[in-house]
A and B are shown apart, each in its own frame.
Chain A
Amino acid sequence: MHAFNYQHPKSVADAAAALSKGGDAKLLAGGQSLVAAMKLRLAAPTDLIDLSGIKELAGIKVEGAGITIGAMTRHAEVARSEEVRAKIPALAGLAGGIGDRMVRNMGTLGGSLAHNDPVADYPAAVLGLNATVNTNKRKIAADDFFKGMFETALQTGEIIVSVSFPVPKRAAYIKFRNPASRYAIVGVLAAETGSGVRVAVTGAASSVFRVAAMEKALAAKWSPDAVAGISVPSAGLNSDMHASAEYRAHLVTVMARRAVEAAK
């Protein structure tokens, strides 16, 4: 790992100021992706700005018809939160299935979203539940947030503060996980939300995406059979030693059917 300067600000404003000082400064959340990347010298920031001491980034709040979760909330906290389990069990279940217990004790919602790993789980929840990403500068709708592999709408100096999840009428997330890494080979979140039916797929392509044909079929009739005959084209899907593009395309339909079944 290359050497760097370390800062531990106490407020979002101080973190933003430190971030804008020039150099290649980076935010540090749980470090489960960033520290690993720095060890491999895939990332070599000049400055690390640790967000763990900022109180306004922590915590889970029920607000009106939704739940707002602070960016620094660990996966394990979301998984065991009474509020999340009662109102959006699909989200608690998804968080509880990320990595392993040690990763869940460190990894955060904000870190996972900013990283936007193509095989990460949270992007499916944010897109599928039509959540809003709140930053220190603006509110970003889920449909506008994920831009491509490891790419988001976040600009330089922008910090995720929290994410607001509207409570869906029903939702479920089913993932076919890579048994070694535990990331999603394919994960599908199917939801009936206040703003319509949404089907979000992670793991299959370079970034999370929605399947319009499945959403239309489910809006007409919420039943596993409605999506059983709908498949996504395999062209452009991820292909690696774990699963070919064709197999991933097949898994999208199977995971979608199971998610609809589970969200009955």
Chain B
Amino acid sequence: MKISMSVNGKPVSAEVETRTLLVTYIRDNLRLTGTHVGCDTGQCGACTIHMNGQAVKSCNILALQAEGADILTIEGLAKADGTLHPMQEAFREHHGLQCGFCTPGMVMSAVDLVNKHPNPSEETIRAELDGNLCRCTGYHNIVKAVKAASAKM
């Protein structure tokens, strides 16, 4: 079937099999490999992107469910001149990543979190990030980074 959507501000369309997952379309068709697949079962949040401004897990959605949608992936977060988004900058500044595998999903989820809860408390950040798993950092610096970014967003 034919699908069309906007990804990081650019219109895209393609002929796909109905069973194509959104994450497969993003990674394999569009070659935007910043969106990661960790668990492929909707548990880990590594595949988090924004669909019409809402954070969602792209491994648990069909590409067809995103027909006509505005999609934002980690590649679309920085400015065209390379200036990082405040959330990305804060993750770097506060050492909110180690291996980096969870980071794209963590950052996309955190941006949605701050959009909906401006100036979140540490408790809110921890509660609202529980759909994103990180095997490296112990979360502490991630929470610090989100807190710092929220002051600048």
Contacts and interface: CB of A to CB of B under 8 A. Distances in A.
A105 B61 CA distance: 12
Contacts of B40: 39
Interface string A156-198: 0000000000000000000000001110000000000000000
Nearest to B113: A101
A24 to B, nearest CB: 15
Given A2-B19, A32-B60, A35-B60, A105 B55 contact: yes
Contacts of A8: 64, 67
Given A100-B131, A102-B55, A106-B56, A32 B42 contact: yes
Interface string A221-235: 000000000000000
Contacts of B67: 8
Contact of B42 (A3, A6, A38, A103): A103
Interface size range on B against A: 20 to 34
B19 A1 contact: yes
For B17, B57, B112, B132, the residue with the greatest tally of chain A CB atoms inside 10 Å of its CB is B57
Contacts of A5: 18
B19 A102 contact: no
A31 interface: yes
Contact of B56 (A3, A50, A102): A102
Contacts of B29: none
A84 B17 CA distance: 40
A180 B133 CA distance: 10
A106 B61 contact: yes
Interface residues of A, number: 29
Contacts of A38: 19
A50 B10 CA distance: 25
Interface in B1-58: 1, 17-19, 21, 40-43, 45, 48, 51, 54-57
A48 B18 CA distance: 9
Nearest to B67: A8
Interface in B46-84: 48, 51, 54-57, 60-62, 64-65, 67
A152 interface: no
Contacts of B51: 105
B128 interface: yes
A8 B62 CA distance: 13
Interface string A99-136: 11111011000000000000000000000000000000
B150 interface: no
A76 to B, nearest CB: 7
A38 B21 CA distance: 11
B103 interface: no
A150 interface: no
For A2, A28, A38, A101, the residue with the greatest tally of chain B CB atoms inside 10 Å of its CB is A101
A153 interface: no
For A80, A101, A102, A182, the residue with the greatest tally of chain B CB atoms inside 10 Å of its CB is A102
Given A35-B61, A101-B113, 8 more contacts: A6-B64, A31-B61, A35-B62, A101-B55, A102-B48, A102-B57, A105-B51, A182-B130
> Closest 7 CB pairs between A and B?
A100-B131, A105-B54, A6-B18, A1-B19, A102-B57, A102-B131, A102-B55
18 contacts: A1-B19, A1-B21, A3-B19, A8-B67, A31-B61, A31-B62, A36-B60, A39-B21, A39-B40, A48-B62, A50-B65, A76-B54, A101-B55, A103-B42, A105-B54, A105-B55, A106-B61, A181-B43
Interface of B: 1, 17-19, 21, 40-43, 45, 48, 51, 54-57, 60-62, 64-65, 67, 109, 112-113, 116, 128, 130-132
